[in-house]
A and B are shown apart, each in its own frame.
Chain A
Amino acid sequence: MTSYDHTDPVIFPAGAATETSAAEAAQGEWDAVVVGGGMAGSIIAEQLGQAGHRVLILEAGPGKDLDLAEYESYLSRFYGAAVKDNQSPYPFNPNARMPRSTDTMPVRPDTPRDAFYLVQEDEYCTDTTFTRVLGGTSMHWEGKALRMLPEDFDLRTKYGQGLNWPLSYDDLEPYYRQAEAELGVSAEVEEQSYLGMHFPEGYVFPMHRMPPSYLDQTVARGVDGMRVSLADDDYTLRVRTFPQARNGVPNPAYDGGKGFVPVGAVSTSQVEEGERCQGNTNCVPICPVQAKYHAGKTLTKALRKGNVKIVTQAVASKVEIDEHDRRVTGITVKHYDALDSDRYETYTVKGTVYVLCAHAIENARLMLASDMQRMSRSELIGCNLMDHAYLLSWGLLPKPAGTMRGTSCTSGITDLRGGRFRGTQAGFGVDIHNDGWGWATGSPYTDLVELVDQRGLRGPELRRTLGNQISRQLLLAFMIDLLPERSNKVTVNERYKDALGNLKPVVSFKIPPYTMRGAAFARKLASDIFERLGAEDRTVYHRDRPSAVEHDGHWYNIVGGNHLAGTHIMGTDPAKSVVDHTQHSWDHDNLYLVGPGSLPSIGTSNISLTMAALAFRSAGHISRYLRAAKAPITVRG
């Protein structure tokens, strides 16, 4: 018997996403109004609901129910879509659009107005995305769940770069554990104790690590023990698995021997499927069996308790502010009838406290569209936009290595995430991609076109060559740190509006030289690794793509990391940050901004686990705020 046999299925309550109408929601006075039903919003709602507060979630996207029908429609839309980008499982929704990587292009005066959502007017454009459906971007995230390094929290003090956090690794450590339980993380403590990351005595992750793929093992044979010298220091590399928010084998030693019960699929007819990861290499864009964590799992818990209600198809369009005391007085919502109609009604919902969890770009967009920069002491709303810069390198291994099996990525090289070299160039993590060259070239479909159309292969030879060629593909993705820069930012502009008349986000994002020095080093390292593996380097960069960046006379393509952060950074000084260490707005007493936007730096860890830990921490503070506000003795003046 595994602990899966004991799983008490956690099922999304039928009708919960539609039972509260926007009109009803606008009549009530809520303790907390949460904007966004993604990972951050679900955690906040679940925690506040648990503490006895009445919570309303406003969700821009559709999400009738996270039941089988809805989830399966996402899957079948994905299977049937000709253009299979990240967003292809989701219906096109003009009322709450999302960026599609296939829309990435510099917007010029003659670009059709509806061809894009994220407005980018610069030569360099990022193809980064986020998702606006119930469950948010976690519906299609990859699920890597790394902690940040202790040194990431005081980069400025240590290496004279970036910004310090108002918190330390140790301050956040208990919340990391809470987030690891919520997301269901699979990893081993021994393997993750590197570069200063530490865990309390006796801690184990909820589940054992994902087995490294055969491809990982192949790369490890060449890489383990490889020495690299960088800024007078020597580093020894090894291949290490990544902590993953997906169901594996529960660790019986978890929680002092109590073990861990994984959460499976939250939709009614899919319970028997939501078990452990099946390895269909499809984590991005959608996990067919819900082995991967998505916010629907937390949302389900929240809605089952009854204190939490949700309204979908409700686009928060304006934060209403009292000019006098600068408190938020309500959120104005445009509630649309259907995806294919631009008919909507406007409501204002009211609560004691307001929590914006619409993700980095949307939180900033909403505040800027509400003219809140005017009241910001730092004037940093929308500034310091960050995302990991990805540099791809790809090669052909001498022998089949089983590429195209397993989760998108099981292991990588993480030894260059930290070190003194960060005084001059960016650190990075390296992902070994189990899904081959797809991200870089469009493989395996492009291989098919090449072999059939260009080389004229037929019959058994075609079949054999395809198998051989694809099973030998190795793609290394370098995920490079990018520091906060004021000029990397989200703004709004009256010229660009969506179907509901909401302003679209305008993004200006350039890859700084510090990051490019890391990229140039990464490129050299990739060549060395390929050489050790006997792999033929097949990397080519294109100058004519919107992702092209020049550094030291060479061109690179830097693709988006989808780790959007930093548009309302936290700090200790209201003149230099937007929120404090609890994600409480410096400028508006009853407003919290929760999500990756609060991160003052992103280091080299995929941001969501840290964001989730911060959300748990903030939930406690918001709950205290609410208790104080509700206490009868409180006199507000």
Chain B
Amino acid sequence: MTQETSADTELRDFVRFSAAVTGFSEFDLWGTGQAEAYHRTALEQVGPEAVRAAMAADPSAVHADPVVKSIIKLWYVGVWYRPEQAGRLDVAAWTAPGRSGAKPAVPEGGRDGEDGSSPPFVVSPDAYTEGLLWRAIGAHPSGAKAPGYGSWATPPAFEDHHEEEVR
């Protein structure tokens, strides 16, 4: 009965594509509550053309479109890494939570993007806690969704995820 708009269809396509590349089901992805925010982020950052092209590309190719890589990482940790930053371990290290032995010096200005380049950013505080990474590693986001006292003493249990779950 409801009228499916082309925006709805695009969002659905985005989620379907994201499920294939992340290894999580569409159900999981909608469950994060972040689908619209991520879709919007991708569109704003690289434009509709680039997003469409990325989704049309063979997602399994190693040297896939860097936009695909940005989209996968967005779902996993809620951070938008610019496609040009693909493969940059130093950039990843700044954005990782916790202590910083590996974090290269980032002067205040560099963090704010005053050098003209846009630094990676977290789409929203929720994007961090909803990151798929935590579920993939059988854990929980640092600092949220606590698993409970003493839970760490038992052997790790990975969420049961079968290939067929991902469609």
The chain A residues found within 8 Å of chain B, CB to CB, are 75-76, 78-86, 92, 101-105, 112, 114-116, 127, 211-215, 217, 248-249, 276-282, 284-286, 288-289, 390, 392, 400-408, 410, 434-435, 438-446, 448-450, 452-456, 458-464, 466-467, 470-471, 546-547, 557, 559
Give chain B's interface secondary structure class: loop
Q: Does B39 interact with chain A (Cβ within 8 Å)? A: no
Give 21 CB contacts A-B under 8 Å.
A76-B125, A78-B97, A79-B144, A80-B124, A83-B94, A84-B96, A103-B107, A114-B108, A212-B153, A402-B152, A439-B101, A446-B102, A448-B73, A454-B87, A462-B21, A462-B72, A462-B136, A467-B137, A467-B158, A471-B137, A471-B158
Query: Which stretch of B1-9, B41-49, B61-69 is in the interface?
Result: B61-69
Give chain A's interface secondary structure class: loop
Query: Across the interface, do A83 and B106 meet the contact criterion of CB distance under 8 Å?
Result: yes
Query: Across the interface, do A463 and B128 meet the contact criterion of CB distance under 8 Å?
Result: no
Q: Determine how close the nearest CB of chain A comes to the CB of B11; give it in whole angstroms.
A: 20
Knowing A80-B122, A280-B144, A466-B137 are in contact, say whether A441-B102 is a contact too (CB < 8 A). Answer: yes
Query: Across the interface, do A471 and B138 meet the contact criterion of CB distance under 8 Å?
Result: yes
Query: Across the interface, do B120 and A75 meet the contact criterion of CB distance under 8 Å?
Result: no
Query: Across the interface, do A79 and B73 meet the contact criterion of CB distance under 8 Å?
Result: no
Query: Across the interface, do A438 and B128 meet the contact criterion of CB distance under 8 Å?
Result: no
Closest partner residue, chain A, to B87 (CB atom): A453
Knowing A80-B122, A405-B151, A459-B20 are in contact, say whether A103-B96 is a contact too (CB < 8 A). Answer: no
Known: A282-B97, A446-B96. 19 other contacts (CB 8 A): A82-B111, A83-B119, A115-B108, A211-B152, A214-B152, A214-B155, A249-B149, A278-B147, A279-B148, A285-B97, A288-B144, A289-B146, A390-B101, A405-B151, A435-B142, A439-B99, A444-B96, A445-B92, A448-B77
Bound CA–CA A572/B158 (angstroms): 58
Knowing A279-B146, A463-B22 are in contact, say whether A101-B156 is a contact too (CB < 8 A). Answer: no
Bound CA–CA A38/B137 (angstroms): 36
Tell me which of B59, B76, B124, B153 contacts A211 (CB under 8 A).
B153
Query: Across the interface, do B24 and A463 meet the contact criterion of CB distance under 8 Å?
Result: yes
Query: Across the interface, do B144 and A459 meet the contact criterion of CB distance under 8 Å?
Result: no
Within 8 A of A (CB), among B108-164: 108-109, 111, 119-122, 124-126, 128-129, 132-134, 136-156, 158, 161, 163
Interface size on B, residues (CB 8 A): 80
> What 9 A-B pairs have minimum CB-CB distances, sorted nearest first?
A442-B93, A406-B152, A456-B62, A278-B146, A463-B23, A282-B143, A79-B125, A402-B156, A445-B96
Measured between beta carbons, the chain A residues less than 8 angstroms from B120 are 82
Measured between beta carbons, the chain B residues less than 8 angstroms from A280 are 140-147
Bound CA–CA A440/B93 (angstroms): 9
Q: Does B86 interact with chain A (Cβ within 8 Å)? A: yes
Q: Determine how close the nearest CB of chain A comes to the CB of B162; give it in whole angstroms.
A: 8
Tell me which of A277, A284, A438 contacts B96 (CB under 8 A).
A438
Measured between beta carbons, the chain B residues less than 8 angstroms from A75 are 143
Tell me which of A103, A277, A443, A445 contacts B105 (CB under 8 A).
A103
Q: Does B95 interact with chain A (Cβ within 8 Å)? A: yes
Q: Which among B77, B104, B132, B153 has the greatest number of chain A C-beta atoms within 10 A? A: B153
Tell me which of B132, B137, B147, B166 contacts A279 (CB under 8 A).
B147
Knowing A279-B147, A464-B23 are in contact, say whether A446-B92 is a contact too (CB < 8 A). Answer: yes
Bound CA–CA A446/B91 (angstroms): 9
Bound CA–CA A278/B149 (angstroms): 5
Bound CA–CA A325/B143 (angstroms): 52
Bound CA–CA A214/B104 (angstroms): 32
Knowing A211-B153, A439-B99, A445-B93 are in contact, say whether A402-B22 is a contact too (CB < 8 A). Answer: no
Bound CA–CA A435/B100 (angstroms): 13
Q: Which among A249, A444, A448 has the greatest number of chain B C-beta atoms within 10 A? A: A448
Q: Determine how close the nearest CB of chain B comes to the CB of A110; give it in whole angstroms.
A: 12
Bound CA–CA A83/B97 (angstroms): 8
Query: Across the interface, do B69 and A453 meet the contact criterion of CB distance under 8 Å?
Result: yes
Tell me which of B64, B73, B106 contacts A102 (CB under 8 A).
B106
Q: Does B31 interact with chain A (Cβ within 8 Å)? A: no
Bound CA–CA A249/B153 (angstroms): 15
Bound CA–CA A84/B129 (angstroms): 13
Q: Does B103 interact with chain A (Cβ within 8 Å)? A: yes
Measured between beta carbons, the chain B residues less than 8 angstroms from A276 are 149
Measured between beta carbons, the chain A residues less than 8 angstroms from B155 are 214, 402
Query: Across the interface, do B142 and A442 meet the contact criterion of CB distance under 8 Å?
Result: no
Measured between beta carbons, the chain B residues less than 8 angstroms from A404 are 134, 137-139
Bound CA–CA A405/B148 (angstroms): 10
Closest partner residue, chain B, to A249 (CB atom): B149
